Structures are given as structure tokens and as C-alpha cells.
């Protein structure tokens, strides 16, 4: 059954060619009524053809016209009908060319008055700033009658903007031309937008900052009774959260203090409350007599009320939880610009965020514990941990030296003891190197020409950086020996003892390291040469694995990164690579299978390391050791005659990885 024009209903005649497969839309030349109303001589059509062919008969309606921010114009849904039949249910069209007057009104109300325009024309930015400032006054005074209503704004724009302006492009084009003659066109004045009194909204009554000791905390105002931050919020950076004391906030800001006092009086049990009626009058008397911010507000209130009436109010009878939200200070905790948490209970926030506060504890530790530049050990003993008790909970921070690079050493706090130990050792190393003679001249005299040549032709070119790396590794080794002997390197005397040890042994230690580094560089260079040239297809994967292994063993900074105690192992690993390359053409498939096993173990190990890094934790020594277990497994796979440091097997490495997980 088809629905026809003027609400008629008909069927396709059985003799029609369309009877077997009736289309969705038909045009018919004849309607004949027998047992039913039948359509004869029919054709399948697209309804859009009707709109084009019978444009003089169709009717168009425009539904839900509105301003669309993305397009910058007024959009409506067009509906097309023919004698009661809907040809086009909804089609988005520009409303301005169709109904320009109505489109202009919608454009002004939604785009300009409601600030939906994306193109920030100068007058719009100016007016938005004025409106924002006035809305801030409304938020402070908790009133909605200071800013003029939307109708006044509409009329102001309506008077100035000519007919035919109904989208963003037209507005911009008109304004830029008109502003050449009248630069301040559509720039509102503050008085144009203010409808109520504002004289009472002063800096003293509604401060922009809350001062507590040396802290200057920004205040923000919000007027929305059901909102979480309704009222006044103190904005606190996470790093100084534990420096903020609870004292003083119970007095609130001056503008709301009297209202707060009145509500506190009303919160008393009836037996006490009836002595202080009417509460607003007593609140006014208290305000006139007390010295603000001296002690607790409820103590000052109790003292004044006792003087006035002889009635004592016990502390436990004040019920702050019954006060409206805007009369209880809100605390917003930020990390930079990101809001971390907020609430009305400062102590709860401090306890809840104590872990994060440890990351920002430098400001509570004082100048002796946190210093941007350290040139010598001219400070007191350095404790392993600093504990800060505040508001009933304990904060911990771990001080240590840190190498900032370019010869700069700083003293700072860490939230993780392992991070503190790790950075402290490198910081101590850098501080030592600044205070002892450089062993470079000794190396120039003692090293053979072959060793010097190997260093000069290292893959990174800069021999100074390589020598500095050897020196750093030598100092690291001497520091570790001192730590193992019980020297914690946390005081001036221990540092002096370490300096004497390093000065006496550094030249010899660096020379020994340089000779081992020479071996590493020569072997590395030989392996790199062997990897060059044509690569057989069945060796591509194995040679790629060898290249990755080589890059991870010998690189710029590898000496101090791995430590001098690893150099002999690296020499052995490089020799194992040479043996592997010799045997690779014999059975490349066997090598490939072993490579897959090693790659799988390395992937699992890297996942464990990444898990520690994601948590901001230092990888423990026993977990880091797995990386070398895998290297030893390579030796057992490809060069068993070189021997391994300790018995290893694929099973043992897997067990170690599982334990690390």
C-alpha cells in the first residue's frame, strides 16, 4: 500500500510491470478504483526528481534554526513536502539566505551575546574580558544582578550591527571596514555592562590572595550553590601543601566572616543558642570587638559571648559541618595547572596526597638540604632520610647530590631511597672530579701508541669524551669500594677520606681501564668490519642480532654506564661474537633458532624494566643482572669454549625474569 498526495492510499495495479517488485517511490498516470484504489501506468522514481521538476508545488519548512559554532553561521533543518508527502525529511541548510532577519537575531543572541563566536575580533575579546571581570565580581558577592541581562546586550549589538549580517564572515568583513572610521566600534565600556552596585566589592573584603607566613596563596571565587567548589577556594601548589597550616582559615575572608559567625551561633544546641538571639546581632557585636586572625575563631567568639551574656560555650558544641558550603573554605590542590584534588578538609587532603608531596618536599627542607649549585662539601652531615611531621602524618624525603651535567652539582630531595642512592653516587663523583687533578696528562705519558690510536679512532670521534668516560668509571669503582667498606659518603669527613683515596689511586685505575677499553674498541672495530659487505639471505636475521648486540655493548658512555668491572666481560662477549661470525655460515638455521630464543628473553626482560620505569622506580640490581645473564647465555650458545661467568641456561633466565615480574 502506498501513501499518495492529499493523504490518499493506493496499490499498484496487478497488471503493472512494477507489481512483482514494488519500488519505494512511484509516479502514476492514472488512479482507478475497483475493489481497491489502483495505480496504473507507473514508474519508479527518486523523490529528489520531484523537488526539481515540481519546485513550484513543493513546500519547504525550516526546523530548529540555531547558531553552529564550527561553521560560524546559523543552520536549520530543511523539510520538503509535496501535497502532504515528505520528500526530504531533514536537510541541513544555511538559514541566513532564507530568513535573513530571523537568522540575524539568532546570530546576535547566540554568537555574540552568548560568546559562541570562534573568530576573536578585537571588540569581542575586549567585551569578553569586561564580562569576565564583572562575573568575577558576581562570584565574589554571590549575586547575579551586577552584569546587565542578555536582552540589554542584544539591544546594544542590534543597534550597531546593520541588516544582512547573519554569520561570522559577514560580521568580520563589515566590522573591519567600519572600524577604519570608528576604531572603538562595538567596544563596550564597563559602565555599559554593570547594572548593580559594586562599591562594596573591595580588595580588603574580597582579597585575591591568602597570606600565611611567607606563603601567598591565590584565592578563587565561584557562585554555584550545588557545585563542589562553591564559595571561596584557596589554590595550593602540591609542592607546598605540607607547608600550609590549618590555622587562620576558620576566620574565612572578611566579607563572609560575619555571616559565618552568625551561622556558627545558629549551629549551637538549642539550650545554648537561645542565649544569643538574634544571632545576626551577636555576630555584628563580635565582629566589632574581636581582632581577626588571632587564635581560633570559635575561641574568640566564646570569649566575647561569655563577656556579653556570662554563658560559656564549650568547644565541642560548635558544629562547623552544618554551615553552608560557601562559608567553609575550599582547598584546591594543583600540580602546575592540573587540579589534583579539592575538598573542605585541609588535613584530609594533606594525608591523602602525602605520597605526592614527597616529590615536592624541597621547600620544607631548608637551604642546606636543597641547593642549586654545590662546589664543595661545605654543608653539614647529609642524613639518609628527612622526616617531616605535619598535621598528624609523616612525610619522608631522601637527600642526595645530583650531577646536573656540564660540571654542575646540585643538592636536592628525592621521594625514592634507591633514586637518592643512585644519583648521590654520580653527584659525589662529579664533585670529586672538580677537586682532584685530572689524570689526562698521566695517560698521555703512560699509554702506548696503540692504545692512544684505538682511542682516537673510536666510533664517536671525540677522544676527550672517551677519556672522561674512563675517568668517571674509575672514580665510580673507587666510590663503590668505599661504600662496601662502610663509608656512606654522607658527611664532610667521609668525603675527604674518599678524596684522598681517589687522588692516590685514580691514575693507576684509569690506566688499567684504558687498556681494557682499548681491547673493547679494537674488537668492536673488527666485528664492525666483519659485518660489512654482502649479507646472505639466510644470515640477515643473525647479523641483525649481532649488530644490535654490538650497539648495546660498545657505545658512547659505555664505560661508566656499565662500570669498569664489566669491561673484561664485554671483551669476552665481543670475542664470542667473532666466534659466532666464524661459525654462522656453517649452520645459519641453528643460529637463527638461538637468536629467536634470545630475542624472546630480551623482550620479556625489557617489559620488566619498563614496568619499573613507568612507576618511576630504580631497577634493582638483581633485576639488572638479568641483562648480563642473557649475555652469558649468548656465550654458551655461540662460543662455549670462552666460558661463562656463572652457570646459565634458558630455563634459569626465564626463572629470573618470572621472579622479577
Largest CA distance in the chain: 121
Looking at per-residue pLDDT, the higher value among 583 and 378 belongs to 583
Number of Cβ atoms within 10 Å of the Cβ of 172: 15
**Dist. CA 449–CA 616, nearest whole Å:** 45
Looking at per-residue pLDDT, the higher value among 570 and 389 belongs to 570
Q: What is the pLDDT of residue 626?
A: 93
Percent of the chain with pLDDT strictly greater than 90: 43
pTM summary value: 0.49
Nearest to 579 by CA among 513, 498, 635, 661: 635
Question: pLDDT per residue over 304-323, tens digit each?
Answer: 999 999 999 988 899 988 89
**Dist. CA 343–CA 160, nearest whole Å:** 46
Q: What is the pLDDT of residue 196?
A: 67
Question: pLDDT per residue over 200-209, tens digit each?
Answer: 777 888 898 9
Angle at 475 between CA 376 and CA 506, to 5 degrees: 100
CB 264 within 8 A of CB 272: no
Q: Provide the mean pLDDT of the chain.
A: 86
**Dist. CA 46–CA 41, nearest whole Å:** 17
Number of Cβ atoms within 10 Å of the Cβ of 291: 7
Cell for 532? 660489512
Ranges of H-type helices in 434-491: 440-446, 449-456, 463-484
pLDDT at 366 over 90: no
Q: What is the pLDDT of residue 393?
A: 34
Give the Å distances, CA to CA, from 217 to 214, 243, 330, 427: 10, 11, 13, 34
> In sequence order, which residues have a C-beta less than 8 Å from that of residue 141 and are 6 or more positions away?
198, 200, 201, 206, 255
* pLDDT bracket for residue 559 (50, 70, 90): very high
Q: What is the pLDDT of residue 149?
A: 79
Tell me the angle at which helices 297-309 and 279-289 cross, rounded to the nearest 10 degrees.
110
Query: 3-state DSSP call for residue 219?
Result: strand
Query: 3-state DSSP call for residue 394?
Result: strand
Beta pairing partners, 43: 27
Phi first, then psi, for residue 414 (nearest 5°) are -125, 155
Nearest to 546 by CA among 557, 560, 562, 535: 535
- Interval 314-340 mean pLDDT: 89
Amino acid at each position: 500500500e502506498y501513501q499518495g498526495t492529499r493523504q490518499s492510499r493506493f496499490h499498484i495495479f496487478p497488471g503493472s510491470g512494477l507489481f512483482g517488485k514494488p519500488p519505494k517511490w512511484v509516479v502514476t498516470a492514472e488512479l482507478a478504483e475497483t475493489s481497491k484504489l489502483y495505480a496504473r501506468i507507473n514508474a519508479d522514481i527518486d523523490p529528489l526528481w520531484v523537488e526539481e521538476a515540481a519546485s513550484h508545488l513543493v513546500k519547504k519548512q525550516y526546523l530548529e534554526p540555531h547558531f553552529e559554532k564550527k561553521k560560524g553561521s546559523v543552520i536549520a533543518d530543511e523539510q520538503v513536502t509535496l501535497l502532504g508527502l515528505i520528500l526530504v525529511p531533514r536537510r541541513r541548510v544555511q538559514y541566513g539566505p532564507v530568513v535573513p532577519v530571523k537568522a540575524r537575531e539568532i546570530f546576535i543572541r547566540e554568537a555574540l551575546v552568548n560568546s559562541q563566536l570562534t573568530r576573536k575580533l578585537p571588540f569581542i575579546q575586549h567585551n569578553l574580558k569586561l564580562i569576565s571581570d564583572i562575573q568575577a565580581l558576581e562570584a565574589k558577592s554571590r549575586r547575579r544582578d551586577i552584569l546587565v541581562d542578555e536582552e540589554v546586550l542584544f539591544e546594544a549589538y542590534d543597534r550597531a550591527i546593520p541588516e544582512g549580517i547573519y554569520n561570522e564572515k559577514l560580521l568580520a568583513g563589515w566590522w573591519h571596514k567600519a572600524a577604519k572610521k570608528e576604531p572603538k566600534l562595538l567596544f563596550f565600556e564597563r559602565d555599559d555592562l554593570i547594572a548593580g552596585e559594586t562599591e562594596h566589592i573591595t580588595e580588603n573584603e574580597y582579597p585575591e590572595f591568602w597570606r600565611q607566613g611567607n606563603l601567598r596563596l591565590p584565592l578563587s571565587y565561584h557562585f554555584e550553590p550545588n557545585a563542589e567548589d562553591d564559595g571561596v577556594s584557596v589554590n595550593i601548589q602540591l609542592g607546598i601543601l605540607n607547608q600550609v597550616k590549618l590555622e587562620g582559615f576558620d576566620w574565612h575572608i572578611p566579607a563572609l566572616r560575619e555571616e559565618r559567625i552568625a551561622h556558627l551561633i545558629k549551629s549551637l544546641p538549642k539550650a545554648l543558642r537561645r542565649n544569643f538571639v538574634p544571632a545576626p546581632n551577636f555576630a555584628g557585636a563580635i565582629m566589632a570587638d574581636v581582632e581577626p586572625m588571632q587564635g581560633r575563631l570559635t575561641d574568640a567568639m566564646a570569649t566575647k559571648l561569655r563577656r556579653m551574656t556570662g554563658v560559656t560555650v564549650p568547644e565541642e558544641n560548635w558544629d562547623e559541618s552544618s554551615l553552608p558550603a560557601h562559608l567553609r573554605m575550599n582547598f584546591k590542590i594543583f600540580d602546575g595547572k592540573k587540579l589534583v584534588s579539592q575538598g573542605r578538609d585541609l588535613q584530609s587532603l594533606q594525608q591523602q596526597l602525602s605520597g605526592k608531596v614527597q616529590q615536592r618536599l624541597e621547600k620544607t627542607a631548608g637551604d642546606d638540604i636543597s641547593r642549586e649549585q654545590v662546589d664543595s662539601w661545605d654543608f653539614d652531615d647529609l642524613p639518609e632520610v628527612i622526616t617531616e611531621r605535619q598535621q598528624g602524618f609523616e612525610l619522608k624525603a631522601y637527600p642526595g647530590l645530583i650531577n646536573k651535567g656540564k660540571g654542575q652539582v646540585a643538592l636536592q630531595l628525592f621521594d625514592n631511597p634507591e633514586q637518592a642512592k643512585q644519583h648521590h653516587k654520580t653527584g659525589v663523583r662529579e664533585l670529586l672530579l672538580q677537586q682532584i687533578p685530572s689524570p689526562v696528562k698521566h695517560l698521555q705519558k703512560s699509554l702506548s701508541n696503540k692504545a692512544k690510536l684505538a682511542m682516537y679512532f673510536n666510533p664517536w670521534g671525540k677522544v676527550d669524551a672517551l677519556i672522561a668516560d674512563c675517568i668517571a668509571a674509575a672514580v665510580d669503582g673507587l666510590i663503590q669500594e668505599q661504600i662496601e667498606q662502610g663509608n656512606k659518603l654522607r658527611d664532610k669527613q667521609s668525603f675527604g677520606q674518599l678524596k684522598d683515596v681517589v687522588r692516590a689511586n685514580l691514575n693507576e685505575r684509569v690506566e688499567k681501564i684504558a687498556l681494557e677499553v682499548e681491547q673493547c674498541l679494537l674488537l668492536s672495530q673488527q666485528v664492525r668490519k666483519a659485518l660489512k659487505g654482502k649479507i646472505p639471505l639466510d644470515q640477515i636475521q643473525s647479523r641483525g642480532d649481532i649488530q644490535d648486540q654490538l650497539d648495546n655493548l660498545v657505545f658512547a658512555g659505555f664505560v661508566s654506564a656499565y662500570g669498569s668491572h664489566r669491561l673484561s666481560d664485554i671483551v669476552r662477549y665481543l670475542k664470542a661474537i667473532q666466534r659466532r661470525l666464524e661459525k654462522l655460515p656453517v649452520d645459519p638455521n641453528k643460529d637463527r633458532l638461538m637468536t629467536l630464543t634470545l630475542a624472546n628473553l630480551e623482550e620479556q626482560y625489557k617489559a620488566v624494566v619498563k614496568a619499573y620505569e613507568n612507576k618511576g622506580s630504580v631497577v634493582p640490581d638483581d633485576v639488572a643482572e638479568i641483562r648480563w645473564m642473557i649475555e652469558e647465555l649468548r656465550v654458551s650458545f655461540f662460543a662455549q669454549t670462552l666460558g661463562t661467568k656463572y652457570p646459565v641456561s634458558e630455563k634459569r633466565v626465564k626463572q629470573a625474569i618470572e621472579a622479577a615480574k
